[in-house]
Structure 1
Amino acid sequence: MAQPQMVAVQQQPGFSAQPQMMVQPGQANVIVVTQVTQRPPKDWTHGLFDCFSDIGTCCVAACFPCMQYGKNKQALNKSDGCCGDCCMYCVVMCCGFGPCLASGGRATVRAKYNITGDGCSDLCAHWCCSPCALTQEKREIEAMIAAGLN
């Protein structure tokens, strides 16, 4: 009976690997290769001022932006509740920094779904028309969930 052979595996920075592995003679060795593909950047599915197509969300975002912000974060992060994010937005909004916090949430949506834009456009969207921006983000999150990409 043949003895198992020892094969040395080089460890690369940032990766963890066993320093040695056993290879049994007569057994097939399987190598699993995972390929990560980056989707090309895209635009928002709905326009910023297309918020009136979802008038219910637009009204909630206009009257209770903290609640819509919390619901968006809840859907985006697949979390159980939106109370913490809602309260945080409310406190930050009272201090006058609501658009800054909300633009960070918008940047998270853009990064997760590979949407074109930058921090300046995120801040401008929330500074000029936060209800429209919150509605657009909600509709984008829903579209990605429906497409199975969340």
Structure 2
Amino acid sequence: MYHHQHSSQGYDPSKFQHPVQVQAPAPAPPQAIRSSPYPAPAMYPPSNGGPAQWSTGLCHCFDDLSNCLVTCFCPCITFGQIADIVDRGTRPCSSSGTAYGLLLGFTGLACLYSCVYRSKLRAQYDLEETHSDCLVHFCCEVCALCQEYRELKNRGFDMSIGWNANVDRQRRGVIQPPVMGAPVIGGAMMR
């Protein structure tokens, strides 16, 4: 058995201390502390003329059938994609989707989490609130998620690649802002 005998030998702490001084790292400059490595996209600024209308209606889920099916069977995927864009890349799609899925699986009340993102989305793009965000998500969760997904997609986001890749594509000039104009009406009927 190994024993220290400090009292009989006279313990001298200076033998065990190193004269190395550790300096604290210099604080990062303010511009280096960011929630995302990319700036906010300039292609979709909020309008200045009051609240804007949503680009599609709440019940137009079949306008994007593939997203409608994904949202019906696995809403955590759609929610994760929406949250990644709305949070501007500060939280990965997978972690938001997982949190949503766990809330849905264990409590059935994932709508309380997703309604917060609807509010954030409306604030970012100055969208009108026809009904309470929580009420919309509580009563029509799938429709609300589909509408939010379509809104971001109609604003030029490629929802499958996330925030950072969308901003990178915009920087390189791959994405051009959509031109919002009057809807195109099909040709006249002919006999």
Equivalent residue letter for 2:112: C
1:139 equivalent to 2:154? Answer no
Alignment of 1:86-105 (within 5 A): 86-93=97-104, 94-105=106-117
1:62 equivalent to 2:80? Answer no
Q: Deviations over 1:30-85 (max 9, x none)?
A: xxxxxxx8342112110000111111111111111111100111233342841100
- Across the aligned residues of Structure 1 and Structure 2, the Cα RMSD in angstroms comes to 2.2
1:110 equivalent to 2:131? Answer no
Alignment of 1:1-150 (within 5 A): 38-79=48-89, 81-93=92-104, 94-117=106-129, 121-145=132-156, 148=177
Query: Residues of 1 paired with 2:49 and 2:112: CA distance?
Result: 28
Give the SS at the match of 2:134.
helix
8 Å contact from structure 1 (residues 39, 114) kept in 2: no
Give the SS at the match of 2:156.
helix
1:96 Cα deviation after fit: 2.7
Corresponding residue of 2:166:
none
Equivalent residue letter for 1:141: L
8 Å contact from structure 1 (residues 89, 98) kept in 2: yes
TM-score of the superposed pair, with normalisation by structure 2: 0.53
Q: Which has the higher helix share?
A: 1
8 Å contact from structure 2 (residues 118, 148) kept in 1: yes
Give the SS at the match of 1:92.
helix
Over the matched positions of the two proteins, sequence identity in percent amounts to: 28
Runs of 4+ in 1 over 6 A off after TM superposition: none
1:144 Cα deviation after fit: 2.2
TM-score of the superposed pair, with normalisation by structure 1: 0.66
Q: Which runs of 5+ in 1 are unaligned?
A: 1-36
Query: Residues of 1 paired with 2:117 and 2:86: CA distance?
Result: 10
Q: Which has the higher strand share?
A: 1
Aligned residues: 112
Query: Residues of 2 paired with 1:123 and 1:58: CA distance?
Result: 20
Query: Residues of 2 paired with 1:117 and 1:101: CA distance?
Result: 18
